[in-house]
A and B are shown apart, each in its own frame.
Chain A
Amino acid sequence: MKLTLRLERRLTPSRALGFLIPVFSIVLALCFGAVLLAAVGKNPGVVYQKMFSGAFGSRFGLTETVVKAIPLMLSGLGVAVAFRMLLWNIGAEGQLQIGAFAAAGVALAFPQAPAVVIIPAMMLAGFLGGALWASIPAALKAKLQVNEIITSLMLNYVAIYWVEYLVYGPWRNPKGYGFPGTAPFSPAAELPRLGTSRVHLGLLFGLVAALCLYFILRRTKWGYEIRVIGENPTAARYAGISLTRNILMVMALSGGLAGLAGMSEVSGIIHALQRGISPGYGYTAIIVAWLAKLNPWAIVVVSFLFAGLLVGGDQLQISMGLPAAMSNILQGAVLFFILGGEILVRNRISLTWEK
């Protein structure tokens, strides 16, 4: 007698599990984190309670969570549209940086411009900056079949060094006491905020972007093409769908959304271009997009969750001296469990005794 594990493909993916697995993944990741915390001599209960109350337990925490959800939402949507057609854009981090750089350039070049002119100009610059940056791996992929995973990732490093060069060098604020950052933008170049909080208009960008993306994917011919390429590339080719054109357009949209995230960070929060404008939003966005199964509305919800994780992680660093990297570990662990659980959505598992 031998116990064997068999997988049977389900005729239709399980909807209930499609929802339960992400939830269970988060729970399991927290359990894993608890073991790790206990191993380094910290009380997991206390740590999680601190993280939770840090992120959701006060007005400040809650608004900070919303603030951090904005770049996650925008770049998560960007990542998702590319992933939809199996285009692995993992360069959202760099596209965000270049978007921030372009938007900052516009703000610094026209300090006299009124808000109605400068804000749309910065949005356009941020979007185009990110789109152009993403067009490098896109063009290499479309024309020369170069692997976009590596090129888009390598450009993250280049973008970060480029921004560092500017804020330490030619763009450094002469009155900044040597601090690596540009001069502050004019008040007109600042995104309006909600009351006295730090929540800014970027939230609306994110929600509108989700709506647009949902509409594009569900209601337009272009969206249909993207989905066909992602689900069956061979069928797409026979149907006469241009892969080249779609790679270029989807990557531009993907990078543009990340660029807009960069714009909303500098215009809504920092009001200048600085070093370290992103604690890895572009990477977290990948997890957000995957956890949300690339669904625009789910991305909005998951962004808040992961923003809470980031804020909670920061809180740990402040109050307990624990590295903020704790939130990265949990992010990675959630993704492991999600990936592992996906097989259950598509297959039924049965344990049987065989002779």
Chain B
Amino acid sequence: MQDTLILILLILAGAIRAGTPLLFATLGEIFAERAGVLNLGVEGMMIMGALSGFMVTVRTGNAWTGLLAAILVGGSIGLIHAVLSITLRANQVVSGLALTIFGTGLSSFLGQKLVGVPAPDTFRVVRIPVLGELPVLGPLVFQHDILVYLSFLLAPLAWFLMFKTRPGLHLRAVGESPATADAMGVSVVGLRYLYVFLGGMLAGLGGAYISLALTPGWADGMTAGRGWIAIALVIFATWSPARAMVGAYLFGGVEAAQFRIQGTGTQVPSFFLNMTPYIFTIIVLVIATQETVRRRIGAPAALGLPYEREERG
């Protein structure tokens, strides 16, 4: 009984850790999509974040500098998408795919010599005094690395910003009805650039969490489709940061459980366990879509559409 309880607790704590990179990336994509820009390049921005975070950490020996680099690189890659889709009004689906293909290739090219290099510095567990000693809640919530705590703060903050502040209102206006926002004097192009950049920074941060905290080190394609799962999570979350947290930990749980089951030497071939997050994504997406259709809470109305101001006569 005691053992089962500890195991469940371990899986749940693992779920939070494994869900953290998904949470960062999902929050980022929610910002971009709320502004009306569909960025399917999350996987590309994430893997470049993972690579640059690790690469800079290896150079400097300090994980914080790596983190900073990852955030900047993620944001910069996002800007490519911003230029193509906002200024040049290119097809957003294909541009996002290009970002992913490009990021995957570039990270593999630049990371060739980093494979197998040990991480000189990582984000380690920081046990919060007093709270960390609590039974159950302590190991579950208060015995994590600092980036997990950051994500705890970031999700509610994003929710507050989006729904309770004036900039949040502008953000949503730009995504729902850019012409109205424009008439109100809000810069549609400016805000879209800003939030696509922010989305890229958060994806880069999520990537760096993988290479500097979750599984420190660099391996080709180490994000393993998490960027795509994050895009699915945005739909699951119905474009709300609060529900993004639930979704991210749900997927983190699948990953953590899969890891544990593999550790027990089960008869189930690992190939099937490895498939589970992807199949689970499809199932969750089907359920979430039914809910959005039923409750009529769809995507932002102008999602994926470039904004072209009517000519003034």
Binding site for B on A (CB under 8 A): 36, 40, 88, 90, 140, 144-147, 149-151, 153-155, 157-158, 161-162, 164-165, 168-169, 283, 286-287, 290, 322-323, 325-333, 335-336, 339-340, 342-343
Contact = CB atoms under 8 A, between A and B. Distances in A.
A232 to B, nearest CB: 15
B136 interface: no
Contacts of B109: 36, 322-323, 325-326, 328-329
Contact of B279 (A149, A154, A165, A336): A154
Contact of A149 (B83, B93, B289): B93
Given A145-B293, A154-B279, A329-B106, A336 B269 contact: no
A155 B272 CA distance: 13
Contacts of A144: 286, 289-290
Given A146-B285, A146-B289, A340-B88, A283 B275 contact: no
Interface stretch (B97-105, B118-126, B196-204): B97-105
A332 B282 CA distance: 27
A339 B91 contact: yes
A48 B156 CA distance: 50
A149 B89 CA distance: 20
B254 to A, nearest CB: 13
Contacts of A322: 109
A88 B98 CA distance: 14
A286 B269 CA distance: 32
B235 interface: yes
Contacts of B290: 144
A246 B187 CA distance: 40
Interface residues of B, number: 43
The DSSP consensus for interface residues of chain A is helix
A155 B98 contact: no
The DSSP consensus for interface residues of chain B is helix
Interface of B: 40, 80, 83-84, 88-91, 93-95, 97-99, 101-106, 108-110, 112, 225, 228, 231-232, 235, 269, 271-272, 274-275, 278-279, 281-282, 285-286, 289-290, 293
Contacts of A335: 94, 97-98, 101-102
Contact of B108 (A153, A323, A336): A323
A165 B269 contact: yes
A340 B99 contact: no
Nearest to B108: A325
Contacts of A327: 105
A343 B88 contact: yes
The 7 closest A-B pairs by CB, nearest first: A332-B102, A328-B105, A165-B271, A325-B108, A335-B98, A339-B90, A329-B105
Contacts of B110: 40
25 contacts: A144-B286, A144-B289, A146-B285, A149-B40, A150-B235, A150-B281, A153-B228, A161-B271, A161-B272, A161-B274, A162-B271, A164-B271, A286-B94, A287-B98, A323-B109, A328-B109, A329-B102, A335-B97, A335-B101, A336-B84, A339-B94, A340-B83, A340-B88, A342-B91, A343-B88
Contact of A150 (B99, B102, B228, B275): B228
B95 A332 contact: no
B90 A150 contact: no
Given A155-B278, A339-B88, 4 more contacts: A161-B272, A332-B102, A342-B88, A342-B90
B284 to A, nearest CB: 10
Given A146-B289, A149-B40, A168-B271, A154 B278 contact: yes
